[in-house]
Structure 1
Amino acid sequence: MDKETFNDFITLVTDVWEYGVFGIDIGKIMFALLVFFFFLFIRGLFSQFVVNRIKALTKKTKTEIDDMAIEALEHPLRFVPIVIGVFLATELLSLDETLQQGAYNLNRSLITFNIFWAIYKMVGPLSQTFGGLRGIFTESMIVWMIKALRALVFFMGAAAILEIWGIKVAPLIAGLGLFGVAVALGAQDLFKNLIAGLFIIGEKRFHPGDWVKVDGIVEGTVEEIGFRTTTIRQFDKAPVFVPNAKLSDNAVINFTRMTHRRIYWKIGLVYHTTIEQLKEIRQRIDDHVMNSADFAHPPEVPTFVRVDSFNDSSIDLMLYCFTKTTNWGEWLEIKEKLALEIKTVVEDAGSSFAFPSQSVYLESMPDSPENFPLPQKIEAT
């Protein structure tokens, strides 16, 4: 290879190096990448020293809002070095007008994204300041407001980024209007459930944690009231996702709001129980209920212990009373003690409990059974 050919090769390599990728110097690209990766490394140090230091300072304060705020802002803060790294890397490149505009839009988009991301994450901690609204709105309604606020922040951020890239949001929304009408016609159930959810929250039918029962549909504990469905966990721990319309259109029994739990029994005694025994049993059961601290008493609730009816095989006492507790486990324990007390009272009175039975009376017996002719034996031929 002669000297002139070698010089041409060197010139070609230099030209490729200076204008290799979209007319950008490869050396500058490599240097820009080094700067970007340096800020990726700085991101880890920033998180370890700055963010953790701020966390330590917020833990020393009495309020918990600042702890929640720094916890929510941790990821947006860790993204800041990346934004700076991209900005410095693009500034180091000698870009033409078109690429320069693209880099400018990219940097603006990253900054806009990080700002709205931080606002989105801050909605949760800011919701703690809604404490004064809890006297006006229910907890579920506040949760819905937080979700709606986050959705609003998300769409505003998306619209801002689209505007940066020259995509007009207003005409896009107008164009989607006709499509929205078509979707709405096919999504009537969705809107029906959404409106039903608003009614459920507005009427305060139930709240998360309540024990509810909808005949023929579900019984369990409410976990979450969503936009379309309500999550109810059955007592076998299986979650059931019930459309809000089902809960709005049907009668819902909210056991959590019971003021008392009822006991309604029919106590069957044998027919040979005397009047004195009936009076003694009735009075002792009534005394036990009225003197026990486990039961609510009139006029707060009605309480009855009465001879109620003559059944087919028993004389029935009706016991109608209410316990003070609404806790199911405690209610079962009180019922058990009451059942044992009633058994003791009945046995002490000399009576016993009846059970279903039938008596058959024969007025007379024939002198001799009728003689029925026996069938003749048929021999096979």
Structure 2
Amino acid sequence: MEWLVGLWADLVTLFGGQVWILMISAILLATSVIDLISRRFLKTLHYQLLKRHKVWLDSFVDASRAPVSFFIWVTGTVLALTTLIYRLNIYVDLIPIIQSFKSTILTLSVGWFVIRLVQRLELHLKAYARVDDRFDEVTVEALAKIIKLLAFVLTGLFFLNAFGVSLTGLLAFGGIGGIAVGFAAKDLLGNILGGLMIYLDKPFTVGEWIRSPDKQIEGVVEKIGWRMTTVRTFDKRPLYIPNGIFATIAIETPTRMTNRRIYEHIGIRYSDIHVMPQVVADVKQMLQEHPEIDQEQTLIVNFNAFNASSIDFMVYTFTKTTNWVEYHEIKQDVFLKISDVIASYGAEIAFPTRTLHMFNENSSTNLEASDSIPK
């Protein structure tokens, strides 16, 4: 300890009348050492927690690294600046402002820490939601945005309060200003509230296929923002939709369908009406035995219409898969098997035809028939 006192005395003698330089240098050096120690400690702790797969606890440690360093350096800088002002006796009027700023250092550090912590927890919760259906990525993102916004606003209010700004007056002004801004930016606010409703109600999430029968909207959701939602159409064009629109239109989410429907009317010739019962029975049996048809859903095969050029039967059933490509493969297989059933009875699938009856004008029978035609 004596050598330290002796070293300080030698340094004071060396600097002579400029002891303030020595004091400021000592403060900044001490700040550097403390910051270096804290960084090394938090970095080592961070890697140790990652090795042990304690990601939740590591989120707190990792989030604190930059704010702690910021707090140390701002505190040291304020202390050095205050020492300089007192020693030189200049700009003394700034001392109260500097002290007010010093009292907000902890608030700023805590606010920054909260925002960084929420960002890391959001990443971990999203990863967890991908393997656990009890969590939803969109809800996690919405809550994270709300918490970060609250942390930002509260930190700003405490910061202003430290500099003598009246929060009561500020809130009153904010209320009046909010009304004016609300009228001026009602569309923007409507879009923000629409985005909040999407996050809460979850009519669709990122990665889902949506479409609207009211608007020309169809594609896969790429991003849900506070103001607009990005949809990638099936021809790969980006579509940017203001969130407020979703409050006024109907939205379908085909991704959430449980089955895909096969609903067709198939016609055979009038001359094949005698085999219609057998065709209908065999098609129904074929569907009941098909491995890709969901037997828990409605299955109907019935003769149901006399058409202009055909007699039609209806096929109504559901596939097990909802995959669009697989569905069309199954639908093709079903149609080909229906064609085979019709052909097995010597019948044919009908197409529009017209029969023309010719008559001989010299025939008395035909003349009588023509006479019976009303004039």
Shorter chain as denominator, the TM-score bin is 0.7 to 0.9
- TM-score, with length taken from structure 2: 0.74
Between the aligned partners of 1:322 and 1:183, the Cα distance in structure 2 is 52
Superposed CA offset, 1:236-283 (max 9, x none): 34443323332222222222332221110122323443522x333322
State the one-letter code of the partner of 2:94: L
1:302/1:59 CA distance change after superposition, 3 Å: same
Gaps of 5+ in 2: 1-16, 363-375
Deviation string 1:186-236 (CA, Å, 9 cap, x unpaired) is 233334444444555554433344322112241223344444433333333
Distance 1:62 1:286 in 2: 57
How many percent of aligned residue pairs carry the same amino acid?
A: 29
Report the counterpart of residue 247 of structure 1 in structure 2: 246
The aligned counterpart of 1:119 is 114
Alpha-carbon separation, structure 1, partners of 2:137 and 2:249 = 23
How many Å separate the matches in 2 of 1:345 and 1:32? 97
Q: Distance in 2 between matches of 1:30 and 1:316?
A: 102
Give the structure 1 partner of residue 368 of structure 2: none
Greater displacement, 340-349 / 194-203: 194-203
- Pick closer, same or farther for the CA change 1:40–1:330 going to 2, 3 Å: farther
128, 148, 172: which one pairs with 2:146? 148
Shift of 1:152: 1.4
- Bigger mean CA offset, 209-218 vs 349-358: 349-358
8 Å CA contact 2:231–2:241 kept in 1: the answer is: yes
Query: Residue 286 of structure 2 aligns with which residue?
Result: 288
Task: Tell me the SS of whatever aligns to 1:231.
Answer: strand
1:210 equivalent in alignment to 2:201: no
SS of the residue corresponding to residue 302 of structure 1 reads coil
Residues 3-59 of structure 1 deviation map (CA, whole Å, 9 limit, x = unaligned): xxxxxxxxxxxxxxx8xxxxxx7x856984797599679868865x43431221111
Q: What amino acid sits opposite 1:279 in the alignment? A: P
* Alignment correspondent of 1:64: 55
**AA of the residue aligned to 2:113:** A
Aligned match of 1:261? 260
The match for 2:328 among 326, 332, 343 is: 332
Equivalent pair of 2:273/2:311 in contact (CA under 8 Å): no
- Partner-residue secondary structure (3-state), 1:296: coil
Shift of 1:123: 2.7
Moved more, 330-339 or 200-209: 200-209
Secondary structure at the aligned position of 2:308 is classed as coil
SS of 2:232's partner is strand
Is the Cα contact below 8 Å between 2:267 and 2:310 reproduced in 1? yes
2:314 corresponds to: 318
Offset of residue 118 of structure 1:
0.4
Secondary structure, in 3 states, of the residue corresponding to 2:314? strand
Residue pair 1:113, 1:161 contacting (<8 A) in 2 also: yes
Q: Alpha carbon RMSD of aligned pairs, Å? A: 3.8
Structure 1: stretches of 5+ with no match in the other structure: 1-17, 19-24, 367-381
Q: Distance in 2 between matches of 1:42 and 1:352?
A: 91
* 1:98 Cα deviation from its structure 2 partner: 1.9
**Are residue 341 (structure 1) and residue 341 (structure 2) matched?**
no
Q: Does the C-alpha gap of structure 1 residues 73 and 223 become closer, same or farther in structure 2, counting only changes over 3 Å?
A: farther
Q: Which residue of 1 aligns with 2:103?
A: 108
Could you tell me whether the CA contact under 8 Å between 1:270 and 1:313 is conserved in 2? Answer: yes
CA contact (8 A) 1:138 1:201 kept: no
How far is 1:320 from its partner? 0.4
- Structure 1 residues 103 and 365, CA, compared in 2 at 3 Å: closer, same or farther? farther
Asked if 2 retains the 8 angstrom alpha-carbon contact of 1:83 and 1:111, the reply is no
Kindly state the Cα deviation for residue 107 of structure 1 after the two structures are TM-superposed.
3.4
- Residue 8 of structure 1 aligns with which residue? none
Contact 2:71-2:105 at 8 Å conserved across structures: no
Q: Secondary structure of 1:93's partner?
A: helix
Match of 2:277 in 1: 279
The letter for the 2-side match of 1:244 is: N
1:219 aligns with 2:210: no
- Deviates further, 110-119 or 100-109: 100-109
Equivalence for 1:89: 80
Distance of 1:30 and 1:362 partners within structure 2: 124
Q: Deviations over 1:333-367 (max 9, x none)?
A: 2212212322333333333333334445554689x
- How far is 1:309 from its partner? 1.9
Structure 2 letter corresponding to 1:182: A
Instruction: Return closer, same or farther for 1:238/1:30 CA change in 2, 3 Å cut-off.
Output: farther
2-side partners of 1:33 and 1:354: how far apart?
99
The answer (yes or no) to whether the contact 2:104–2:162 under 8 Å persists in 1 is yes
Q: CA deviation at 1:295?
A: 1.2
Aligned pair in 2 of structure 1 residues 202, 163: CA closer, same or farther (>3 Å)? closer
> What secondary structure, in the 3-state scheme, does the structure 2 residue paired with 1:321 have?
strand
Partners of 1:35 and 1:346 in 2: CA distance: 96
